[in-house]
Amino acid sequence: MKNIAIIGATGSIGTQTLDILKYSKDEYNLIAVSANKNYKKLIQIINTFNPRLAVLTDMDAYLKLKCYLKDNNLETELLYGIEGLCFIASLEELDILVSSVVGMIGLLPTLKAIEKGKTIALANKETLVSAGDLVMSMVKKYNGVLLPVDSEHSAIFQCLQGNFMNGINKILLTASGGPFRGKSYKDLLNVGIEEALNHPKWKMGSKITIDSATMMNKGLEVIEAHHLFNVSYDQIEVIVHPESIIHSMVEYEDGAVIAQLSNPDMKIPIQYALNYPLRKYCRVPKLDITSLNKLTFEKPDFHTFKPLKLAYQAGREGKNAPAILNAANEAAVELFLNKKISFLDIGDTIEAALNKFEISSYTTAEEIINIDEKVKKYVNEKILKE
């Protein structure tokens, strides 16, 4: 039986991971969970799985859950904040850490798990985007294992099985195109929040859904793929594939292209990471190949979707440029969701931050966290002044 901890248990990936565990209780033991402020959903998880530890990163939610646990004589021990996340990521008995939090808060617990040589099912983009050089060097040093949970990176990982890395010609990273596929820059001048959150294929959290609408989500995945698979940015090509059936492809030097296909359901890559290298039955609808009338592919519009172009730019610059990109994007998306800026302002804000801050090398997580805070402060102050 595998001991599992989930940080970000109340989000989309965390919830779907719990669905898998629920039907496989003889295979997995959930020993720890975390959430930000959704203590009510965490109560449901505790009542269902009885984990030994739980963490909340919002103080008000922490105090409410603490009272609930005491009043109901529940044995789950409650921890608080980033220290609590790092504690559960370092548990001796832990087999797999599912990192499904959104934002930079996922960096330190992921690094702690790597230091302990744990297996990490990684769905937190910011960890690799902002500190990829540090993360991958630590994986090598401590013999940690990173298993990608993003559908695209999981697909690439699966396409690489049984092949040699030096035989890769390029990675074909597919994108659905989001809700604004085919729209021009002019079409997006006045789009609202509800339109941006109306993803045609995937049900995700608000931040990731907006990233998909701007195509920054794909830009972040380009940077992740660079680190995960040790390929140059010239070897990573984004292709818009609106049917979301092919989740990514790998083209080899001999001209062969290997693709991973399935219905768009995140339970497939989650379960693959939990069971790797084995495959087990997954409770999702199977793909009916005969029902597919066509699969279409398009080149992305780098002009309209500026964040994707900026992600390639930051990735190629390296050093702390991806951390600046990521922090500016996080802040800009939050401002958009709070109706402080327009949709297209997101890309302009990211570009302004990349031009504002000096690109420099880093060696520690603290340096990355520091630049993250500085960039977010700059973005918010910039918008307030305007």
For position 101, which CATH number holds? Answer: 3.40.50.720
Tell me: do 90 and 36 sit in the same domain. yes
Tell me: do 174 and 245 sit in the same domain. yes
In a domain, 279, yes or no: no
φ and ψ of 146, to 5 deg: -105, 120
In a domain, 328, yes or no: yes
| Whether the Cβ atoms of residue 31 and residue 279 lie closer than 8 Å to each other | no
Tell me: do 219 and 304 sit in the same domain. yes
Tell me: do 193 and 301 sit in the same domain. yes
Residue 62 one-letter amino acid = Y
What's the domain count of the chain? Answer: 3
CA 324/CA 344 separation, integer angstroms: 18
The pLDDT score that the predictor gives to residue 80 is 97
The pLDDT score that the predictor gives to residue 103 is 84
Residue 150 to residues 147, 156, 203, 254, 324: CA-CA distances in angstroms? Answer: 9, 10, 13, 27, 22
CA 381/CA 375 separation, integer angstroms: 10
In a domain, 269, yes or no: no
CB atoms within 10 A of CB 90: 16
In a domain, 121, yes or no: yes
DSSP structure string for 43-107? HHHHHHH--SEEEESSHHHHHHHHHHHHHTT--PEEEEHHHHHHHHHT-TT--EEEE---SGGGH
Tell me: do 172 and 118 sit in the same domain. no
Q: Return the DSSP state at 235.
A: G
Tell me: do 93 and 141 sit in the same domain. yes
| Whether the Cβ atoms of residue 171 and residue 236 lie closer than 8 Å to each other | yes
φ and ψ of 61, to 5 deg: -65, -40
Q: Which of 255, 278, 310 is the last residue of a domain?
A: 310
- CA dihedral of 318, 324, 329, 332, whole degrees rounded to 10: -160
The pLDDT score that the predictor gives to residue 230 is 95
User: E strand or H helix at 249, and its extent?
Assistant: strand 246-252
Q: Which residue range forms the structural domain that includes residue 297?
A: 162-263+286-310
Q: Which of 149, 179, 210 is the last residue of a domain?
A: 149
The pLDDT score that the predictor gives to residue 198 is 85
In a domain, 156, yes or no: no
In a domain, 365, yes or no: yes
3-state secondary structure 96-151: EEEECCCCHHHHHHHHHHHHCCCEEEECCHHHHHHHHHHHHHHHHHHCCEEEECCH
* pTM reported for the whole predicted model: 0.94
CA 352/CA 331 separation, integer angstroms: 13
User: Residue 328 belongs to a domain with what CATH number?
Assistant: 1.10.1740.10
The pLDDT score that the predictor gives to residue 383 is 80
In a domain, 112, yes or no: yes
Tell me: do 103 and 10 sit in the same domain. yes
Half-sphere exposure of 162 (CA within 13 A, CB side): 4
Is the Cα dihedral 375, 376, 379, 380 positive or negative? negative
In a domain, 155, yes or no: no
Q: Which of 125, 149, 173 is the last residue of a domain?
A: 149
Tell me: do 29 and 133 sit in the same domain. yes
pLDDT along the chain (386 residues), means of 10: 96 94 90 97 96 97 96 95 97 97 92 96 94 96 94 97 90 94 93 87 80 95 97 97 96 96 95 95 92 94 97 97 97 95 96 96 95 96 77
Helix (H, G, I), strand (E, B) or coil at 378: helix
The pLDDT score that the predictor gives to residue 208 is 86
Helix (H, G, I), strand (E, B) or coil at 201: coil
The pLDDT score that the predictor gives to residue 202 is 66
| Whether the Cβ atoms of residue 181 and residue 248 lie closer than 8 Å to each other | no
Tell me: do 16 and 144 sit in the same domain. yes
Tell me: do 305 and 339 sit in the same domain. no
Tell me: do 257 and 336 sit in the same domain. no
The pLDDT score that the predictor gives to residue 379 is 96
The pLDDT score that the predictor gives to residue 232 is 97
